[in-house]
Amino acid sequence: MVFSVDPAFEAGSVAAGEWGLCHVRLQDDARFPWLILIPRIVGAVELSDLTADQRAALMEETVRAGELVRALGGESGRPVDKLNVGAIGNVTAQLHVHVVGRRRDDGLWPDPVWGRGPAEPYGGDLRAAVLARITGAA
């Protein structure tokens, strides 16, 4: 089998890069700096589907994504107060980790971001700039 991204990710996010373990996506919602890490492991649904080395790599890439999310928030002039990290998987079973930058004034604080309000897609120029920043952090 060959790794592929669940088509459900295509609707709300864009490919942003490939790291050592994970396919990286930018959630297309300018309200929050938000990355999704999808380990390129065929059939992975739970953390237990990864080897110990893969779990360690996922943790390191999650920390790396958090640093990048914080940087993206700072560059936008809207610094991140808290990182939310979650591997929920209720909608899409494929193992993935959300790394979301939250601000106390973000409009949904302190509630979760999932399924709350319509997304505000990035405009073309802003999306290109954010994607370039993510790619440059590779």
pLDDT tens-digit series, residues 4-22:
999 999 999 999 999 999 9
116-135 mean pLDDT:
92
Q: Which CATH number fits domain 11-136: 3.30.70.20, 3.30.428.10, 3.40.640.10, 3.90.79.10?
A: 3.30.428.10
Which pTM was predicted?
Answer: 0.95
Provide the pLDDT for residue 124.
85
Kindly list the distances between the CA atom of residue 51 and the CA atoms of 47, 88, 112, 122, in Å, as whole numbers in the listed order. Answer: 9, 19, 30, 36
73-97 mean pLDDT:
92
CA 121 to centroid of chain Cα atoms: 15
Strand, coil or helix: what is 26?
A: strand
Domain extent listing, the chain: 11-136
Phi-psi bin for 91: left (phi > 0), alpha (psi -120 to 50), beta? alpha
Residue 137: pLDDT over 70: no
Query: If pLDDT is split at 50, 70 and 90, which confidence band does 136 have?
Result: confident
